[in-house]
Amino acid sequence: MSDIDPHAGEGIESAGAPPQATERALILLHGRGDSSAGILRLVDDIYERGVRYLAPAAAGRVWYPGELTDPVTDRRQAYLDSAFGQIERALDETEAMGVDPEEVVLAGFSQGASVATEFAMRRPRRYGGLVALAGGLLGPTDEIGPREGTLDGTPAVCGVGTEDPHVSVEHAEATAAALSEMGAAASAETYQGVGHAIGDGAVETLQRLTSRD
């Protein structure tokens, strides 16, 4: 693992539709301490015909050092840039299947949610959707704001449990507001009684953003 590009050489696991039958894709980014195989277990609950599910892996099961609201230091940014490379490799795979970014949903849990959100805002364009579960933009909540570019109507949901000890509802709302300012159709959703976990409400959110209905 290189300090400059720590996630280089990590794999991407996949499930769902075979490449030749793929119409849409969902890129799933796992949380700290989890794995590609772990996050792909969600496919049992959210499977939809024609969807390819891709799960990039983080080196050492950690996408970046520090906590959600810590400032983004140069070292932290290097980890983020490396994580963005994993998403770009997944997008290269979907492009090779004939699937445009407009048909690709970016989603993640915890650290994975932060990586997905940071990627979308730093590589702004129209995506099929963005789902940030128990995560959000990095940095202090009161410093969150939009960046240059437009997300061009990308549907986006920032979901958080009301009992989450690591991510506040206010942080999810601030992230959704920043996404909206960049042109996303964004909202914050709360899951009552849920801690730092993917509950039924989060699964429903993923299903809704991935479905064409």
> How far apart are the C-alpha atoms of 179 and 173, rounded to whole Å?
10
pLDDT of residue 213: 62
Residues 63-87 have a mean pLDDT of: 96
Q: Residue ranges of the domains in the chain?
A: 12-210
62 token code pair:
């950690």
Q: Which residues contact 169 (CB under 8 A, 6 or more apart)?
A: 160, 162, 188, 190
Residues forming beta bridges with residue 191, ordered by sequence position: 161
pLDDT of residue 2: 52
Round the average pLDDT of the chain to a whole number and report it: 96
CA distances from 71 to 58, 65, 137, 145 (A): 21, 11, 11, 14
With respect to CATH, is domain 12-210 assigned 3.40.50.2300?
A: no
CA distances from 6 to 31, 46, 76 (A): 16, 30, 11
Structure confidence by residue, pLDDT tens digits, 118-153: 999 999 999 999 999 999 999 999 999 999 999 999
Please state, as a whole number, how many other Cβ atoms lie within 10 Å of the Cβ of residue 77.
13
